[in-house]
Amino acid sequence: MVDLVPTLLRQELSRLADADQRLDGRSRWGSRDVTLETDCLYNAEGSAKVTIGGTIVYAGVKFELRTPWPDRPAQGSLMCGAELRPVAGRKYEPGPPSPQSIELGRVVDRGIRESGCIDMAELCIVPGEKVWGVMIDLHVLSDQGNIFDACGLAAIAALRTAVVPAERFDVGEDHTLSVNGTPIMASFTRVGGRYVLDASEEEELGGDERIHITLGDKGHLHSLQKGLKGVFTPAEFAEIFEVAQTRCVELRKLVAEQEAN
Amino acid sequence: MVDLVPTLLRQELSRLADADQRLDGRSRWGSRDVTLETDCLYNAEGSAKVTIGGTIVYAGVKFELRTPWPDRPAQGSLMCGAELRPVAGRKYEPGPPSPQSIELGRVVDRGIRESGCIDMAELCIVPGEKVWGVMIDLHVLSDQGNIFDACGLAAIAALRTAVVPAERFDVGEDHTLSVNGTPIMASFTRVGGRYVLDASEEEELGGDERIHITLGDKGHLHSLQKGLKGVFTPAEFAEIFEVAQTRCVELRKLVAEQEAN
Amino acid sequence: MVDLVPTLLRQELSRLADADQRLDGRSRWGSRDVTLETDCLYNAEGSAKVTIGGTIVYAGVKFELRTPWPDRPAQGSLMCGAELRPVAGRKYEPGPPSPQSIELGRVVDRGIRESGCIDMAELCIVPGEKVWGVMIDLHVLSDQGNIFDACGLAAIAALRTAVVPAERFDVGEDHTLSVNGTPIMASFTRVGGRYVLDASEEEELGGDERIHITLGDKGHLHSLQKGLKGVFTPAEFAEIFEVAQTRCVELRKLVAEQEAN
Amino acid sequence: MGGYGDVQLLRDDGKRLDGRALDELRPVTVEAGVLPAADGSARVTHGLNVAVVAVYGPMEAHPRKIQRQDRAVIDVRYNMAPFSTSDRIRPGFNRRSREISKVTAEALESVVLVERFPRSKIRVEIEILAAEAGTRCVGITAAAVALADAGIPMRDLIVGVASGKIEDTVVLDLDKAEDNYGQADLPVGILPNTGEVAFLQMDGDLSPDEFNLAMEYNFKAAGEIHDIMVEALQRRYEGGEA
Amino acid sequence: MGGYGDVQLLRDDGKRLDGRALDELRPVTVEAGVLPAADGSARVTHGLNVAVVAVYGPMEAHPRKIQRQDRAVIDVRYNMAPFSTSDRIRPGFNRRSREISKVTAEALESVVLVERFPRSKIRVEIEILAAEAGTRCVGITAAAVALADAGIPMRDLIVGVASGKIEDTVVLDLDKAEDNYGQADLPVGILPNTGEVAFLQMDGDLSPDEFNLAMEYNFKAAGEIHDIMVEALQRRYEGGEA
Amino acid sequence: MGGYGDVQLLRDDGKRLDGRALDELRPVTVEAGVLPAADGSARVTHGLNVAVVAVYGPMEAHPRKIQRQDRAVIDVRYNMAPFSTSDRIRPGFNRRSREISKVTAEALESVVLVERFPRSKIRVEIEILAAEAGTRCVGITAAAVALADAGIPMRDLIVGVASGKIEDTVVLDLDKAEDNYGQADLPVGILPNTGEVAFLQMDGDLSPDEFNLAMEYNFKAAGEIHDIMVEALQRRYEGGEA
């Protein structure tokens, strides 16, 4: 029961870090290939499939009519949840939502919600009576590292292609959901003592704390999260924050390209 | 932890099958004694107790007022559920509904529902507002084999004696629930390599797959289910299907006799 | 895994009982120090903190608007629940409510409810539509014995200081909840073969059954509960019942003093 | 207790609505050995209440952490069938049934010679098929008979019985209407031979004197029910398998 | 079956609304080895249905009490993604998915050579990403391919396929409208080489003759799907990692 | 962040509604050793927030599968009492409390010398008795003091503190109104001696410059709270049992 593999792996990762190298030959701020496909699921009102290396996730958007919360009678609602089901990897077990999956869903949710890209008032149909509830469900099919960035990208891409199914609910004509902005998440993991971008499964296994940064179109921060055991210094944060700015611009371009097709 | 008893039991059952015999001396298509009692529970709007050998089950019918489903505004609903509680035998454990109990309830439910014996439109009181929900609860008190047939019989017998408690709910006068037909289940278990009717507890322990057939008054199929590990050929199915026709007629007669008393 | 400590402890408690002594020097009907503090929690509409020796519990009262039960359209409702969370002691584990915590909540609930100190009709706002639901939540922070009496005292003291938050719910002006009486619980534990008042943690660990008696202002019984393995004779009950009368008068006085301040 | 209506529960002749005297039980029947799959079983009807109990064991207690080195644990589940009440009950346990299961187990542990079976478990499954006030007492009575039927050694039987108060009058064994509109209920579990009490609950309003009278009624009735329990067990021993 | 509307499902030319003949399948595609994290995997589309299956194992079965001394246990989870249906499904299992998981596991145990892996567990994760009637059959087909992709020895593949009845006519492979307004559904799991049946459910109304015709359609279609499955596995062997 | 109303949160004199300066904390009190049953404990009030923390352990970690060979696991439960908020909270965990428990545990694992206690568990029970914005930070501060009170070796304390943005202005330590109508919240857990960060969350909208100012406020305030924590621990050592 001694976790021998992680111990040896940590040593190797540390050695590589000293030489400014990574297990798969990437540079410190290099990413694996990212692919994005949208509108790929029958029955979802918006959908996206993202792969980052061997990591595969889907996001699906559904709408439902609900009565608004009493303290916000003219506002709809947005909810983003993630399921880390046993399909995603050998380490995942069946059961109620794990703290990991709750954290994943909530961090993606905050990035989108706090960017203000969805105007909750536009989701109101009849004030005090009927509003739209928008649900984004994240579904990880294969985890080979960095599911946070994959889920963040899938969520906003799916949302941006969503069509409000007003006809099916008898409340008007179907129309594109209005989404003002493309918040993007960039995640960093401490591996061998230093932060790297887009950690692989092995790097996560032998690594330490992660930092998740969600940036909006203007480069403002909308969500931060530090996960796992470990600490960082303000100087370290400043360094990855610069990298995050570049990374988010790149991924935002990918979303735009997909939409242009 | 080697399941020695089942292994020896399987050998014995195989030996008996070769000689066309069964553990308790029955013929291949022979049944244990079946008894049926109805209207036996205070507070249930319909009730039945069925015994098959040492197996004892109760079914109780209750009604409740509900709002109809939006897509079926003029239809009531029927629901049949089974509880395999620890009272029923040493092997049963407390906890949330087991896959076994869910399967039992759903197979009985489908047999009754799909026979069309309940007209859901007759359960409507005010379209879009108020309909009857009929709930059949199956309660196994002693499992000595073939609880499926016992539950199937108890469910339809209880339903056929049910009185709609309209007065208690202030929606008219009490009246008998209208039930058009008597769907009956016949279950077969592979024991010693061949199928037998009405397997006992030992035969189930040392047996393989089961087939549950529910037939309506005209001999039509309304529900089929294969359970447990094992396969069968179309020819084997054809053989038990013939037996099922006879069995269902016999048990349907038992229901009729009980009602005539 | 042999519970050696309790066995030795039981011997010691038995020896002390023979000499009419207790572990901490108290007399058989002696209590540890009891303190009561009320109105001690922001956001609770009524609150109390009670300490008995090293036992610390809080009670908080909250109100909510609800629709009345159909069979009692002009009555509000009262609910008292207890949480024995892991904060309270090393022996408590996380998980769904234990039978112990359910019993604790229900015994306190019955004592208050059955004393009639809350007039459910006064909790009605609009008959058939809108009534107050009063919730008393008991929170045990440190269990060093006799949490029942501590919770019983905290519950009624919190309730007697509660203010109905009508303004926040837009149904009139805030007003003191009307509470007619001060039901008090006295608990007895068999230790070393005889009953004692206000058992300590060690006495509970090495003791047997408990009896919980709730008395109203006139000395009438409103709730009784015997818990844990053990039996008692009518003569034994008569003896502790006398002691309970005195104990309840004393604690009721403590509530009155607190209110006078 | 309900106690919120103006309902007459005593007749002008001093009898109760169903004709019973103040200290008179509803009809009680007891049958032992009713469930073939169980190691011991019983069925008790008490008024319109129907309780069936199965006992399994003693068997190995698992998981390990519930084992006691020096005695058996008694694992009681009190369950009301969904169709046992006027409004259907959702299957599964609720707070009421968990509390009753707990105190019933503790009462039974007080009479079963649990020291004889260290590290083992005895399962007691109480199923209420029809409920008409007083089910927890009926369940205790049935559990005691089922334990005896299973051959579990006990130092005494337990009899479950309740008294209460209606219209300011102490009466034995409340029926449904009396329970709904009554002023107090005092269910107890009595050891008929030793005169001890292993189960006690009470709610409502009772003066000390009323309490004493209610207990007097309970002890007298426990003797009557005890006779019926013993007869049932004798029939079972003579008759063999049911 | 729904069967509650007056909906026309057969055209005047005898074909179905989507132009299929009575015994014609919806388009089926199969791909093996689609999930890098899994030991074996497959993706099957069948009409608009999309099922993805991951297989993990054989691995140690824990907790101990689920172990079988003489064989592997097959642990199946059939799950519909929240966005797979018209109305969103709350995540987590429901009664329907638990029943399908159970009977699917039993069907797969009938073909996997479970005796080869005593005390072990094989996990089969069936994820329905898009549902258009018939998902349990699509899941079985995909599970069989994923097991083969994982190199788990089987005595045959299983093909999931269904026939049904619409407008009093037996047809193969109901689509969504046919499922909603049809009169019967007969999903089966067929072993294409032995001609045996490892999975069987049915609901609705079928006369004995209709049942026989429906089974005939199912067997014929199973052969067609089997060919597509085999091609996918061949592509996978030739092509290596997907 | 709420941020949906036109609510004035800054006065004309540049101060906040409760008179605080932009970089001024609400009043903070710390007391160590407040729960007799616990191995270590603390009570922190911060504005109207009240958090009480109990620490138990190090103790054997069970079940086995949660054990780590080379270190202790820290088992944190962050719980809001039902009466701690304006609308009552149903008892039991929700998604928010599970997330906070997870990241708090990870933050504490970063400072506790967990390598000293292989295979063991340290339980940290955070109970919020009254909530007025910022409870996760108050819980972290109280947890650090309770761990120290329990004698658990740590390489530094952690101080929980938050800054935020209201009316386009960065301010320290949002109170309830500021939290409801503010534009951003940046709660952190700071190691006062090393200047490292073990806990970080943020939501809302912050430009890079605003973020830097908010962090500056947080670091300054962490020093102030650290002094109060140290005083409390000194009082505790001098005063003995509370």
Q: Between B43, B94, B144, which is nearest D83 by CB?
A: B43
- Calculate how close chain F gets to A83, using CA atoms only, in Å: 13
- Calculate how close chain B gets to E125, using CA atoms only, in Å: 17
> What integer pLDDT is reported at residue E63 of this predicted model?
81
pLDDT tens-digit readout, B82-124: 989 999 999 999 999 999 999 999 999 999 999 999 999 999 9
Q: Check if the interface score ipTM surpasses 0.85.
A: yes
Query: For E114, which DSSP code?
Result: G
Interface test with B, best of D49, D77, D85, D88 (most B CBs within 10 A): D88
Cβ-defined contact of F196 to A102 (cutoff 8 Å) = no
> What integer pLDDT is reported at residue C212 of this predicted model?
98
- Calculate how close chain E gets to A5, using CA atoms only, in Å: 18
Cβ-defined contact of E125 to A54 (cutoff 8 Å) = no
> What integer pLDDT is reported at residue A5 of this predicted model?
72
Q: Look at residue F242 and tell me whether its pLDDT is greater than 50.
A: no
Mean pLDDT of B41-55: 97
Residues of F with CB under 8 A from a CB of A: 1, 4, 67-70, 95-96, 98-99, 101-103, 106-107, 109-111, 186, 191, 194-208, 211, 215
Q: Among all chains, which residue has been given the structure tokens 């940590």?
A: A10
Residue type, B70: P
> What integer pLDDT is reported at residue F65 of this predicted model?
84
The pLDDT confidence band at residue A1, using thresholds 50, 70 and 90, is: very low
> What integer pLDDT is reported at residue C1 of this predicted model?
39
Cβ-defined contact of C86 to F125 (cutoff 8 Å) = yes
Residue D154 backbone dihedrals phi, psi, to 5 degrees: -135, 150
3-state helix, strand, coil in chain E (%, to 5): 30, 30, 35
Please, which residues have CB within 8 angstroms of residue D173's CB and are 6 or more apart in sequence? Answer: D20, D24, D25, D26, D47, D134, D161, D162, D163, D221
CA angle centred on A77, ends A72 and A83, rounded to 5°: 145
Instruction: Provide, as residue numbers in chain F, all residues whose Cβ is less than 8 Å from the Cβ of A226.
Output: 103, 106-107, 197-201
Cβ-defined contact of A221 to F106 (cutoff 8 Å) = no
pLDDT tens-digit readout, A18-57: 999 999 999 999 999 999 999 999 899 999 999 999 999 9
Residues of B with CB under 8 A from a CB of D: 41-44, 47, 53-56, 58, 60-62, 64, 81, 83, 85-90, 94, 96-97, 135, 137, 139, 141-144, 168, 201
> What integer pLDDT is reported at residue E66 of this predicted model?
87
- CA quadruple E229, E232, E234, E236: dihedral sign: negative
3-state helix, strand, coil in chain F (%, to 5): 30, 30, 35
pLDDT tens-digit readout, D193-233: 999 999 999 999 999 999 999 999 999 999 999 999 999 99
Three-state SS string over E180-232 comes to HHCCEEEEEEECCCCCCEEEEEEEEEECHHHHHHHHHHHHHHHHHHHHHHHHH
Is there a contact between E88 and E163 (Cβ–Cβ < 8 Å)?
no
Minimum Cα–Cα distance from D80: chain B residue:
B139
Nearest residue to B233 via CA among B248, B211, B216, B255: B211
Cβ-defined contact of C233 to D195 (cutoff 8 Å) = yes
Q: Calculate helix-pair angle for A99-114, A147-160, nearest 10 degrees.
A: 40
Helices (H) and strands (E) in chain A, counts: 5, 12
Nearest residue to F54 via CA among B23, C141, D193: C141
Cβ-defined contact of E195 to B114 (cutoff 8 Å) = no
Instruction: Provide, as residue numbers in chain A, all residues whose Cβ is less than 8 Å from the Cβ of E88.
Output: 62, 64, 135, 137
- H/E element, E39: none
E-only strand ranges, chain C: 34-38, 46-52, 55-66, 77-83, 124-126, 130-142, 163-164, 175-176, 184-191, 194-197, 210-215, 221-227
> What integer pLDDT is reported at residue A3 of this predicted model?
62
Which comes out higher in pLDDT, residue E22 or F238? E22
Is there a contact between E181 and E169 (Cβ–Cβ < 8 Å)?
no
> What integer pLDDT is reported at residue C5 of this predicted model?
72
Q: Between E84, E86, E127, which is nearest A87 by CB?
A: E127
- H/E element, C159: helix C147-160
- Calculate how close chain C gets to D168, using CA atoms only, in Å: 13
Is there a contact between F158 and F140 (Cβ–Cβ < 8 Å)?
yes
Exposure b/e, D8-24, CB count within 10 A at least 16 = b: ebbeeeeebeeebebbb
Residues of E with CB under 8 A from a CB of A: 35-39, 48, 50, 52, 54, 56, 59, 77, 79, 81-88, 91-92, 123, 125, 127, 129-132
- Calculate how close chain D gets to C258, using CA atoms only, in Å: 27
Q: Cα separation of D115 and E93, whole Å?
A: 43
Q: Between C141, C143, C168, which is nearest F52 by CB?
A: C141
Give the strands of the sheet with F159-166, arranged side by side: A194-197, A184-191, A210-215, A221-227, F197-206, F184-190, F159-166, F169-172
Q: Cα separation of E211 and A92, whole Å?
A: 42
Burial class, F239, CB count within 10 angstroms (exposed 0-12 / middle 13-18 / buried 19+): exposed
Secondary structure (3-state) at C25: coil
> What integer pLDDT is reported at residue D87 of this predicted model?
93
Q: Cα separation of B60 and B41, whole Å?
A: 8
Preceding amide of F58 cis, omega within 30: yes
For chain E, the average pLDDT equals 95
Cβ-defined contact of B90 to D59 (cutoff 8 Å) = yes
> What integer pLDDT is reported at residue C193 of this predicted model?
96
> What integer pLDDT is reported at residue E5 of this predicted model?
54
pLDDT tens-digit readout, B15-35: 999 999 999 999 999 999 999
Q: Cα separation of E8 and E10, whole Å?
A: 6
Residue type, C203: E
Please, which residues have CB within 8 angstroms of residue D168's CB and are 6 or more apart in sequence? Answer: D183
Q: Cα separation of A41 and A36, whole Å?
A: 13
Interface test with F, best of C61, C62, C87 (most F CBs within 10 A): C87
Q: Cα separation of F104 and A256, whole Å?
A: 37
Instruction: Provide, as residue numbers in chain B, all residues whose Cβ is less than 8 Å from the Cβ of E110.
Output: 209, 229-231
For chain C, the average pLDDT equals 96
Exposure b/e, C133-157, CB count within 10 A at least 16 = b: bbbbbbbbbbbbbbbbbbbbbbbbb
The pLDDT confidence band at residue D102, using thresholds 50, 70 and 90, is: very high
Is there a contact between A6 and A25 (Cβ–Cβ < 8 Å)?
no
Interface test with A, best of F95, F155, F180, F207 (most A CBs within 10 A): F95
User: Parallel, antiparallel, or unpaired for β F73-80 and C210-215?
Assistant: unpaired
The pLDDT confidence band at residue E3, using thresholds 50, 70 and 90, is: low
In DSSP terms, B14 is beta-bridged to none
Q: Look at residue D239 and tell me whether its pLDDT is greater than 90.
A: no
Q: Cα separation of C121 and C180, whole Å?
A: 13
With contact defined as 3+ CB pairs under 8 Å, the chains touching E are: A, B
pLDDT tens-digit readout, C221-244: 999 999 999 999 999 999 999 999
Q: How many CB pairs under 8 A join A and F?
A: 101
Is there a contact between A135 and E82 (Cβ–Cβ < 8 Å)?
yes
Q: Between B2, B106, B234, which is nearest E95 by CB?
A: B106
Cβ-defined contact of A142 to E38 (cutoff 8 Å) = yes
Please tell me the total number of residues recorded for chain A in this structure.
261
Is there a contact between E32 and E24 (Cβ–Cβ < 8 Å)?
no
Residue F212: count of CB within 10 angstroms of its CB: 15
Cβ-defined contact of C62 to F83 (cutoff 8 Å) = yes
Please tell me the total number of residues recorded for chain F in this structure.
242
Q: Look at residue D159 and tell me whether its pLDDT is greater than 80.
A: yes
Minimum Cα–Cα distance from A216: chain F residue:
F205
Query: For C178, which DSSP code?
Result: P
Secondary structure (3-state) at F41: strand
Cβ-defined contact of F110 to A209 (cutoff 8 Å) = yes
Instruction: Provide, as residue numbers in chain A, all residues whose Cβ is less than 8 Å from the Cβ of E125.
Output: 85-87
> What integer pLDDT is reported at residue F62 of this predicted model?
83
Instruction: Provide, as residue numbers in chain C, all residues whose Cβ is less than 8 Å from the Cβ of D208.
Output: 219-221, 241
Q: Cα separation of B135 and C143, whole Å?
A: 45
DSSP per residue, chain D: ----S----B-TTS-BTTS--TT-PPPEEEEE---TTSSEEEEEEETTEEEEEEEEEEEE--SGGG-BTTB-EEEEEEEE-TTSSSSPPPSS--HHHHHHHHHHHHHHHTTB-GGGSTTEEEEEEEEEEE-SS-HHHHHHHHHHHHHHHTT--BSS--EEEEEEEETTEEEES--HHHHHH-SEEEEEEE-TTT--EEEEEEEEEE-HHHHHHHHHHHHHHHHHHHHHHHHHHHHHHHH---
Instruction: Provide, as residue numbers in chain D, all residues whose Cβ is less than 8 Å from the Cβ of B137.
Output: 81-83, 88, 91
- Calculate how close chain E gets to A106, using CA atoms only, in Å: 16
- Calculate how close chain E gets to A59, using CA atoms only, in Å: 8
Residue D161 backbone dihedrals phi, psi, to 5 degrees: -160, 155
> What integer pLDDT is reported at residue C60 of this predicted model?
98
pLDDT tens-digit readout, F12-35: 999 999 999 999 999 999 999 999
Nearest residue to A168 via CA among A83, A48, A64, A14: A64
CA angle centred on E36, ends E31 and E41, rounded to 5°: 40
Q: Cα separation of E216 and B247, whole Å?
A: 26
Mean pLDDT of B51-55: 98
Q: Which of A71-80, A148-157, D63-72, F222-231 has the lowest mean pLDDT?
A: D63-72
Instruction: Provide, as residue numbers in chain C, all residues whose Cβ is less than 8 Å from the Cβ of D6.
Output: none
Cβ-defined contact of C75 to D4 (cutoff 8 Å) = yes
Residues of C with CB under 8 A from a CB of D: 1-3, 72, 75, 97, 99-100, 102-103, 105-106, 110, 113-116, 120, 209, 211, 216, 218-234, 237, 241
pLDDT tens-digit readout, F91-140: 988 999 999 999 999 999 999 999 999 999 999 999 999 999 999 999 99
pTM: 0.95
Cβ-defined contact of E82 to A87 (cutoff 8 Å) = no
F with A: touching (≥3 Cβ pairs within 8 Å): yes
